[in-house]
Amino acid sequence: MNHPNKKVYGLILSALLVLSLITASCSERIKDSRPRPNFILIVTDDQDADSLRFMPKTQRRVIEKGITFTNAYVTSSACAPSRGSILTGRYPRNTGITKKYQQLHGINEEKTIATILHKAGYRNILLGKYVNQYGKTHPKYIPKGWDEWHAMIDENKYYNYRINENGEIVQYGDAREDYITDVVSTKAAGFLDSADKEKPFFLFINTVAPHTPSTPAPEYNNEFNNIPISYSFEDDISDKPKWVQNFRMLNESLIRNYFGNSQKMEDLYRNRWRTLLSVDDMIDNIMSHLEKNGLLGNTYLFLVSDNGDGLTKHIPVSAKLSPYDEGIRVPFIAMGPSIQGNIQVDNLVSTVDILPTLADLAGVKSVDNVDGRSLVPLLTNSAQVSGWRESIFAELPHIDNTWPWKSTPPSYQLMRTQKFKYIEYETGEREYYDLVNDPNEMENLYNTLSPETQTNLSLELRKLAEGRQ
Ligand SMILES: [Ca+2]
Ligand SMILES: [Ca+2]
């Protein structure tokens, strides 16, 4: 092989350096001269990834115009840790948030998506839920960085709830117009009608839907009656960790009650979808008001969920604390000025990426101390992105075992790639799934792996948990 002349190498390097400096200064200028975009971030509660198909207006107005991340995951399948990660861009292990708002209150709220965007000149509005138990412990508190604060004090209620409206507690009743998703939709539209065109905004909407009790708006009570529902549970759970086996043993009567009664089961599924129809209407309403006010061309809209809830496969009732995909995989869609229409991207993305993405789009130079990475390369040019991450991290921190069905998973950490999932529990139990041949995670192959592979998986998981990406 010929060795290139060192002098030629030097010249090429100098030329590249000059070129990159010119490119950098050009892109800075372009970035600075463009108006900063507005953001609307909608976080649904317990929505499984597949249920987007029951939102026809969202399909037409967002999905067909934008991007769908088909491999999107939360940092935790438990609500509060997951919401903490969306707000801070950090894993639960780095925020210390396990189950309650109290753990977010104070130090974790010094630097959130709201404070970062506020500092960058954004007007920030929160509508709907904030973080679990916020209303129980700090109902009058308005965290740093918010200009408009309309946070629900009572959780998981579709009627008869209170909202902290900029410091004033307002009670809503049980009339049709008090239906929470519509109340939030009207507030969002009102804000868009009065938005200051000179100042970018960040509108953060957290819906109750489709979380239980999954109360639909009356006009949707009879929707989806003709859609067949099929469900089944894993037959052989001898390969599963103790918590799955205990759950099945301890809750035979609950399972019989709920799942032996097909009408109840079907109602549960259909009511979740029915509540999403009101979210669908809200998105339609928001898009109309963006158009009407000339804001559509410079606004990004994102929709994601705080955790999944597949309701099938391994554990009946709720899969949302589980490490399986029905717990950690969520819908994640986006549309906006630099995003082409009708694109599906299968790169691994995490809710911990939302904060760095919005900061990047807002022109914030860098955000330190976050665990996620900006999704801007995928939003703008997904076909050309190489060297993207090959695994994502998720965990269940120690949570209080106060759930009604008592058998919850022990604390765990997991690594998921496109091809496999590896789970480590604090009990010493391990799971490994070949996701290519067993996408439903039915056969735990951990014991078939060589000791060397087992050790390497554990080391890789440690690296993933501790490394920032
Ligand atoms: Ca949730
Ligand atoms: Ca099995």
Q: What is the pLDDT of residue 14?
A: 46
Residue 204: is its pLDDT beyond 90? yes
41 in a domain, yes or no?
Answer: yes
Confidence grade of residue 312 (pLDDT, cut at 50, 70, 90):
low
Q: Assign residue 70 the CATH number of its domain.
A: 3.40.720.10
Question: Is residue 90 classed as helix, strand or coil in its secondary structure?
Answer: coil
Q: What is the pLDDT of residue 5?
A: 46
Residue 46 Cα to ligand 2 middle (Å): 25
136 in a domain, yes or no?
Answer: yes
Cis peptide before 213 (omega within 30 of 0): yes
Residue 430 Cα to ligand 2 middle (Å): 14
Q: What is the pLDDT of residue 7?
A: 47
Residue type, 193: D
424 in a domain, yes or no?
Answer: no
Residue 400: is its pLDDT beyond 90? no
d(CA 350, CA 36): 24
Confidence grade of residue 405 (pLDDT, cut at 50, 70, 90):
low
Residue 422: is its pLDDT beyond 80? yes
Residue 306 Cα to ligand 1 middle (Å): 5
Residue 407 Cα to ligand 2 middle (Å): 19
408 vs 99, 233, 245, 248, 403, CA distance in Å? 13, 17, 11, 11, 8
DSSP 7: H
Output the pTM of the full model: 0.90
* Greater pLDDT, 468 or 103: 103
Q: What is the pLDDT of residue 6?
A: 44
Quick one: which ligand is closest to 132's CA? Answer: 1
Mean pLDDT, the chain, rounded, equals 88
Residue 247: is its pLDDT beyond 80? no
344 vs 335, 339, 383, CA distance in Å? 12, 11, 10
Q: What is the pLDDT of residue 16?
A: 44
The whole-number average pLDDT for the span 409-415 is 93
Q: What is the pLDDT of residue 59?
A: 98
Question: Following CA atoms 276, 282, 288, 291 in sequence, which dihedral angle do they give, to the nearest 10 degrees?
Answer: -100
398 in a domain, yes or no?
Answer: no
51 in a domain, yes or no?
Answer: yes
**Among residues 49, 55, 79, 414, which one is catalytic?**
79
Mean pLDDT check: name the lowest of 114-118, 177-181, 225-229.
225-229
Residue 264: is its pLDDT beyond 80? no
Residues with CB under 5 A from ligand 1 (ion): 45-46, 79, 306-307
d(CA 185, CA 189): 6
d(CA 266, CA 270): 6
Confidence grade of residue 290 (pLDDT, cut at 50, 70, 90):
very high
In tens, the pLDDT along 360-376 reads: 999 998 899 999 999 99
The whole-number average pLDDT for the span 383-395 is 92
Quick one: which ligand is closest to 442's CA? Answer: 2
In tens, the pLDDT along 10-35 reads: 444 444 444 444 433 333 333 455 68
* Long-range CB contact pairs, 404-409, < 8 A, 24+: 405/247, 405/250, 405/251, 405/254, 405/317, 405/318, 406/250, 407/243, 407/246, 407/247, 407/250, 407/251, 408/243, 408/321, 409/241, 409/243, 409/321, 409/322, 409/323
Residue 468: is its pLDDT beyond 90? no
Quick one: which ligand is closest to 245's CA? Answer: 2
290 in a domain, yes or no?
Answer: yes
Tokens of 320: 């949302």
d(CA 204, CA 302): 10
Q: What is the pLDDT of residue 360?
A: 97
269 in a domain, yes or no?
Answer: yes
Residue 449 Cα to ligand 1 middle (Å): 34
Tokens of 296: 């559509």
Domain containing 77 equals 34-387
Is 26 one of the catalytic residues? Answer: no
d(CA 379, CA 386): 13
Residue 238 Cα to ligand 2 middle (Å): 6
* Greater pLDDT, 410 or 292: 292
Residue 210 Cα to ligand 1 middle (Å): 9
Q: What is the pLDDT of residue 17?
A: 43
The answer for residues whose C-beta is within 8 angstroms of residue 125's C-beta and 6 or more apart is 146, 147, 148, 149, 150, 191, 201, 202, 203, 204
Quick one: which ligand is closest to 433's CA? Answer: 2
287 in a domain, yes or no?
Answer: yes
The whole-number average pLDDT for the span 155-181 is 97
Q: Into how many domains does the chain fold?
A: 1
Residue 9: is its pLDDT beyond 80? no
Confidence grade of residue 250 (pLDDT, cut at 50, 70, 90):
low
d(CA 462, CA 456): 10
Residue 227 Cα to ligand 2 middle (Å): 29
Quick one: which ligand is closest to 207's CA? Answer: 1
